[in-house]
């Protein structure tokens, strides 16, 4: 197993629980991959994912390994999913409950959009239900096999999910208020994509959030700690601070790895949890260069500029998840995907991790994590002047909405930093972007062109996000277990 991100940890847990001798080799000093945290005045701040959804996926994975998630993680549900604000005016909270949202949207934008929301909620639930078992939780289908999986009775559902429509256009059928269109379009960014280019099927993210957003006691890294702890109990071994520089291919099959220090470790199968693009970039050796589709730089998903630390805030009642929308969404995504520069009018996400729904922070200083979308690097880095000026606009946007932040400590990450952390990605955080209806089918699947080499993680099927990477890891374990079992008979 190469990599101890969520996908790699899940594969390691499930293969160890099935009795396979499992070794995880991770180049960082700790598990988690993108589940990173920094220290701010002695307390950890999440600087990777902050929104935890699809808790059931983890409950199933823990149950398959003979354990209960609740014995390893303490999760608290958020009643308010997120607070949204616009400099042009208006504030709207979204809830897990449809009726609460219908009421809030009615007060915010009137009865037309409240009805539009109800229909949108039903539609996004239908998209999710149609794709859950046929796509998200299954091996990578092609368009034909997806249709077969869904079956004749499911065909009306397949047509209703608007696979060829663009998210932004579909949202226009539901919402007259441009602010609401912008709010629900933001779900495209969860897959590192533009709402003007991605399929309307990504509206399913809205349904997933409505089914539950949880905060993880102690921070998101505890998910990785929990998976590692259980995997260790089931017999998996971990080697941290060790980079794999080559995947061995012998007799046409993956046969082990060579570490950066030259140690040769034979294996019956290899699972790669790093970004798939590292294979075609040759970072894992010539034998696996063509093992999976390459991600051309123009297909890269979003990167980000993030800043986090300890801060004092006033003037705006933050809840845990907050979004401050920029005035020109078209400009934001054109800048990033067409012109490969930072937006002049960024949208800012702020996670106030000491808060859940509404309680005031118990600290003078609290932990904040802020993020704006940014282009992945394509050879050239963003200049510090460009970054500085974008962050100033972001600050101005938050201040226009009333939020004043006085930072006591601050740590920044830019696309160049992400490019260093996640080799061969150019800083893209979500694998290839989901642009166009074919994109989901073009992602790398679990099995590669090299037998006994499998892929697990957010750049492979079914896509990015903590639960998706976990599902990818489960899929890798299932393939590996079935392949090894069939040859050991």
Ligand X SMILES: Cc1cc2nc3c(=O)[nH]c(=O)nc-3n(C[C@H](O)[C@H](O)[C@H](O)COP(=O)(O)OP(=O)(O)OC[C@H]3O[C@@H](n4cnc5c(N)ncnc54)[C@H](O)[C@@H]3O)c2cc1C
Among 433, 466, 478, 481, contact with ligand X (rule: CB under 6 A):
466
Q: Which CB sits closer to ligand X, 48 or 309?
A: 48
Distance CA 153, CA 225 (A): 43
The torsion angles phi and psi of 353, rounded to 5 degrees, stand at -75, -10
Q: How far is the CB of 128 from ligand X (least distance, A)?
A: 15
Distance CA 163, CA 126 (A): 13
The torsion angles phi and psi of 106, rounded to 5 degrees, stand at -60, -45
Q: How far is the CB of 468 from ligand X (least distance, A)?
A: 7
**Angle at which helices 6-17 and 221-233 cross, to 10°:** 20
Q: Does 432 bind ligand X (CB under 6 A)?
A: no
Among 199, 343, 427, 464, contact with ligand X (rule: CB under 6 A):
464
Contact 54, 207 (CB under 8 A): no
Q: Does 453 bind ligand X (CB under 6 A)?
A: no
Q: HSE on the CB side for 427, CA within 13 Å?
A: 23
Among 12, 61, 465, 479, contact with ligand X (rule: CB under 6 A):
465
- Which residues are CB-neighbours of 35 under 8 A, at least 6 positions away? 5, 6, 46, 48, 49, 220, 221, 223, 224, 466
Q: How far is the CB of 200 from ligand X (least distance, A)?
A: 21
Distance CA 463, CA 191 (A): 7
CA angle 94, 172, 112 (to 5 degrees): 65
Q: CB under 6 A: which stretch of 47-55, 83-91, 293-301, 404-412 binds ligand X? A: 47-55
Tokens at 372, concatenated: 């704006």
Q: CB under 6 A: which stretch of 71-79, 127-135, 172-180, 456-464 binds ligand X? A: 456-464
Q: Does 243 bind ligand X (CB under 6 A)?
A: yes
Among 28, 139, 361, 381, contact with ligand X (rule: CB under 6 A):
28
Q: Does 346 bind ligand X (CB under 6 A)?
A: no
Distance CA 54, CA 61 (A): 12
Residues 49-88 that bind ligand X (CB under 6 A): 49-51
Q: Which CB sits closer to ligand X, 34 or 83?
A: 34
Contact 49, 351 (CB under 8 A): no
Q: CB under 6 A: which stretch of 27-35, 139-147, 211-219, 227-235 binds ligand X? A: 27-35
Quick check: helix, strand or coil at residue 148?
A: helix
Q: How far is the CB of 14 from ligand X (least distance, A)?
A: 14
Q: How far is the CB of 272 from ligand X (least distance, A)?
A: 7
Q: Does 445 bind ligand X (CB under 6 A)?
A: no
Among 256, 432, 445, 457, contact with ligand X (rule: CB under 6 A):
457
Q: CB under 6 A: which stretch of 20-28, 106-114, 134-142, 382-390 binds ligand X? A: 20-28
Quick check: helix, strand or coil at residue 234?
A: coil
Q: Does 33 bind ligand X (CB under 6 A)?
A: yes
Among 1, 2, 200, 390, contact with ligand X (rule: CB under 6 A):
2
Omega cis (within 30) before 462: yes
Q: How far is the CB of 25 from ligand X (least distance, A)?
A: 5
Contact 345, 327 (CB under 8 A): yes
Distance CA 484, CA 205 (A): 35
Q: Does 3 bind ligand X (CB under 6 A)?
A: yes
Give rounded-to-5 percent helix, strand, coil for the chain. Answer: 40, 20, 40
Q: How far is the CB of 236 from ligand X (least distance, A)?
A: 15
Please report the sign of the dihedral spanned by the C-alpha atoms of residue 337, residue 343, residue 345, residue 348. Answer: positive
DSSP string, 42-110: TEEEE-S---B--HHHHHHHHHHTT--GGGT--EEE-SEEEEEEETTS-EEEEESSHHHHHHHHHHHH-
* Residue with tokens 């969520």, as numbered in its chain: 6
Encoded one letter per residue, x for contact with ligand X by CB under 6 A and - for no contact, window 401-430 reads ----------------------------x-
Q: How far is the CB of 223 from ligand X (least distance, A)?
A: 9
Encoded one letter per residue, x for contact with ligand X by CB under 6 A and - for no contact, window 248-287 reads -------------------------xx-------------
Applying CB under 6 A, the site for ligand X has a residue count of: 32
Please report the sign of the dihedral spanned by the C-alpha atoms of residue 184, residue 187, residue 189, residue 195. Answer: negative
Residues 295-324 that bind ligand X (CB under 6 A): 304, 306
Q: Which CB sits closer to ligand X, 274 or 432?
A: 274
Q: CB under 6 A: which stretch of 1-9, 73-81, 307-315, 331-339 binds ligand X? A: 1-9
- Judging by beta carbons within 10 Å of its beta carbon (0-12, 13-18, 19+), is residue 137 exposed, middle or buried? middle
Q: How far is the CB of 258 from ligand X (least distance, A)?
A: 11
Contact positions vs ligand X (CB under 6 A)? 2-8, 25-28, 33-35, 48-51, 243-244, 273-274, 304, 306, 371, 429, 457-458, 464-466, 469
């Amino acid at each position: 197993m190469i990599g101890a991100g969520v996908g790699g940890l899940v594969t390691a847990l499930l293969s160890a629980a099935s009795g396979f001798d499992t070794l995880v080799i991770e180049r960082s000093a700790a598990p988690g991959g993108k589940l990173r945290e920094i220290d701010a005045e002695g307390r950890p701040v999440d600087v990777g994912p902050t929104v935890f959804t699809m808790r059931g996926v983890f409950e199933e994975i823990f149950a398959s390994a003979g354990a209960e998630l609740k014995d390893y993680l303490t999760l608290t549900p958020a009643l308010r999913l997120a607070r949204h604000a616009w400099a042009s005016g208006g504030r709207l909270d979204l809830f897990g409950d449809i009726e609460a949202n219908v009421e809030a949207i009615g007060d915010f934008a009137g009865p037309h959009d409240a009805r539009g929301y109800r229909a949108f909620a039903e539609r996004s639930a239908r998209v999710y239900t149609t794709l859950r078992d046929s796509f998200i939780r299954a091996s990578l289908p092609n368009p034909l096999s997806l249709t077969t999986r869904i079956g004749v009775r499911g065909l009306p559902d397949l047509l209703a999910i608007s696979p060829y429509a663009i998210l932004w256009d579909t949202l226009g059928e539901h919402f007259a208020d441009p602010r609401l269109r912008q709010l629900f379009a933001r779900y495209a960014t969860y897959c590192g994509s533009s709402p003007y280019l991605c399929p309307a099927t990504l509206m399913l993210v809205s349904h997933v959030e409505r089914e539950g957003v949880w905060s993880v006691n102690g921070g998101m890294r505890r998910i990785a700690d929990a998976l590692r702890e259980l995997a260790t109990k089931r017999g998996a071994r971990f080697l941290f601070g060790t980079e794999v520089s080559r995947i061995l291919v012998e007799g046409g099959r993956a046969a082990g790895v060579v570490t950066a220090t030259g140690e040769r470790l034979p294996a019956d199968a290899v699972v790669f949890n790093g970004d798939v693009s590292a294979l075609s970039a040759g970072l894992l050796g010539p034998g696996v260069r063509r093992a999976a589709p390459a991600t051309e730089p123009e297909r890269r998903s979003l990167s980000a500029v993030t800043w986090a630390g300890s801060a004092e805030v006033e003037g705006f009642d933050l809840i845990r998840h907050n979004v401050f929308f920029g005035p020109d969404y078209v400009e934001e995504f054109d800048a990033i995907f067409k012109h490969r520069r930072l937006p002049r009018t960024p949208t800012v996400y702020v996670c106030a991790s000491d808060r859940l729904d509404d309680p005031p922070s118990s600290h003078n200083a609290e932990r904040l994590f802020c993020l704006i979308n940014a282009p992945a690097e394509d050879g050239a880095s963003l200049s510090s002047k460009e970054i500085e000026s974008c962050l100033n606009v972001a600050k101005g946007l938050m201040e226009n909405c009333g939020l004043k932040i006085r930072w006591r400590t601050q740590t920044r990450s830019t696309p160049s930093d992400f490019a260093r952390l996640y080799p061969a990605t150019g800083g893209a955080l979500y694998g290839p972007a989901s642009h166009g209806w074919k994109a989901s089918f073009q992602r790398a699947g679990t099995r590669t062109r090299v037998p006994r080499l499998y892929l697990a993680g957010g750049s492979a099927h079914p896509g990015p996000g903590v639960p998706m990477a976990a599902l990818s890891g489960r899929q890798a374990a299932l393939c590996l277990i079935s392949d090894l079992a069939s040859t050991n008979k």
